[in-house]
Chains A and B, each alone.
Chain A
Amino acid sequence: MSTNILNVKDLVIHYETDEEVVEAVNNISFEIKKGEVLGLVGETGAGKTTTALGIMGLLPDKVGHVIQGSVELEGENLFDKSAREMRKVRGKKISMIFQDPMTALNPVKPVGDQIAEVILLHDRCSKAEALQRAQKMLAMVGIVPERYKDYPHQFSGGMKQRIVIAIALACEPELLIADEPTTALDVTIQAQILDMMRSLQQKQGTSMILITHDLGVVAEMCDHCAVMYAGELVEYGTVEEVFDHPKHPYTKALYQSIPSLDKDVKRLRVVPGMVTDPSKLPCCCSFADRCTEKCEQCESGDPRIVNVNEEHWVKCFNYRAEKEEK
């Protein structure tokens, strides 16, 4: 048994409606070690949130289907668990933070009660004890514990996100999935929240999946980085590897299309075309249409994973070709 907390294997998730089938997640595999922070990067519709919901077992009823694959948490396949067992896993073992703190909190309940509720649900303890722990959690995320009686509307956006984090961490989960936790916040507040999340993560030793579209956030927060495009992981590696030696054309293009603060660029390099529509995926490489480095192979088959080194792989024909030449 390895030290992996989470093992995602060959996961495929489709959304099926009467009109169309959206191939949201296509055959992705990755693993997270204990205490590791994985950054999941990609644009809108790349399937980042779907992956998270799939792991949590929270895919929308009737529409979202896991077609194949497994998600193993500490060696147990979550897809084999009943709805009741899953409820016990959620909150206790895996927690999730959503993008919008406004919708995640109950507006008519004091925030202290909301934190205590989660604790009572999963841990055996008295109500008073739970409230006490709730206050401790508030202090931990940088809110005066005396405010536990306040209602969500009495807090600002950044404060609300802190409370959501407090709820998520209340039962000291093994794995925290944060879905764009700071996208709705201003940069100075984002800096506060990221700082806090990092120190909490180190203190509690929680593993984390950080979903974001912001490469800067990944560089600051993560150990490993997985780049997603059209429901596939196209590149995976340590943050240093992926940022310093990006291999996949999409990853490279992503870097070049961000205006840089330290360099002066007259014109931005652009990824041509639009984000591939996940309901009309080609059977070849999904990025082939927009790729500037494509070859004939790219339009005939789906590329396989190629290892660059032990902790860095890429899903691209081009790279293999290059390597064989050498």
Chain B
Amino acid sequence: MAKMHTPAMEKIEKRNAKRKKPVKSTPAYESWKRFKRNPTALLGLAVVCILILIAIFAPLIAPYGYQTQDYSAMMQAPSSAHFFGTDQFGRDIFSRVIYGARYSLIIALFCTIAAFFSGGLLGIIAGYCGGIVDTLIMRVMDIFQSIPMIMMAMCIVAVLGNGIPQLVAAIMFASMPTMARNNRAAILRVRGSDYIESSEAIGVNQVQMIIKHMIPNAVGVMIIYFVGFLAVSIMMMSSMSYIGVGLAAPTPEWGLILNDGKAYLTSAPYMMLFPAMMIMITCFAFNLMGDGLRDAFDPRLK
């Protein structure tokens, strides 16, 4: 049924004929459909899924323990026995990198959640309340942002010592301002829309307004920030471990493995190459996914 048939139409008709029943179009499904159409975003998602699987099944994948030292095989180049080579203590770098995925992903998740529930929540409150509350919160965030992240992390480590909670705290404080600002913008945009006014006119109260209208409509944008932030936290964590204010050895964290290898950069470059590649791939995958989500949730921003 059309005025003029074209090859493009036939293609679509053929595909539609294969589908069993028409799917109901909800806003969430529309977003998924847009995400699905984006090959780079799907690639990002696939890599992230593989990384998660690697983290979960690390003991099954890794041929050696991450702490097992083998003094008969120190500083060996990549081979069939040691895919990524070994370090100066004879530890298998491949196994360390695989176990490292666990640390990196879990800590990144914690950091992001922590930042979201501190900075993000403050941003939502600032955006919703406006006025003096808004000014107060945002100026405090500005002060936070003016402290260099590394310096703050070093102070925290100096006082509290190395460790995961300290690392999470440092990253959380450093990223609170950005998180607050992003979430405030998301809420402000929703708050200014006509449907909020129209709900106000039919007598919806404040609490319901936030739960039923503001959060569902802002959540898409917030997910975008959340995913994007995972990449940022992995970067922060690795760089902090690399300069020695993050986690303590012998944890197989990617930044730490890099740190181990830096003395042998000229003689054994593979010691730095593989962990650096993992960091890069992970951040790249999260960023691809984040961009895909942005297009999916917010086609206007494109």
Residues of B in contact with A (beta carbons under 8 Å apart): 1-4, 6, 8-9, 12, 37
Contact = CB atoms under 8 A, between A and B. Distances in A.
Contact of B3 (A19, A23, A65): A23
Nearest to A26: B3
B2 A283 contact: yes
Q: Which of B1, B3, B8 has the most CB of A within 10 A?
A: B3
Nearest to B4: A12
B37 A26 contact: no
A19 B4 contact: no
B4 A280 contact: no
Interface of B is mostly: loop
A65 B4 CA distance: 13
Interface in A51-74: 65, 67-68
Contacts of B8: 14, 16, 21, 65
Contact of A27 (B3, B9, B37): B3
Given A21-B9, A26-B4, 18 more contacts: A12-B4, A14-B4, A18-B12, A21-B2, A21-B12, A23-B2, A23-B3, A23-B4, A26-B3, A27-B4, A65-B8, A231-B3, A280-B1, A281-B1, A281-B3, A283-B1, A286-B3, A302-B3
A23 B6 CA distance: 10
B37 A18 contact: yes
Interface residues of A, number: 21
A20 interface: yes
**6 pairs of A and B residues whose beta carbons are closest in the complex:** A16-B8, A26-B3, A21-B9, A21-B8, A281-B3, A23-B3
A321 B8 CA distance: 36
A67 B3 CA distance: 12
A45 interface: no
Interface in A278-296: 280-283, 286
A16 B3 CA distance: 15
Interface in A1-40: 12, 14, 16, 18-21, 23, 26-27
Contacts of B1: 280-283
Contact of A19 (B2, B6, B12): B12
B2 A67 contact: no
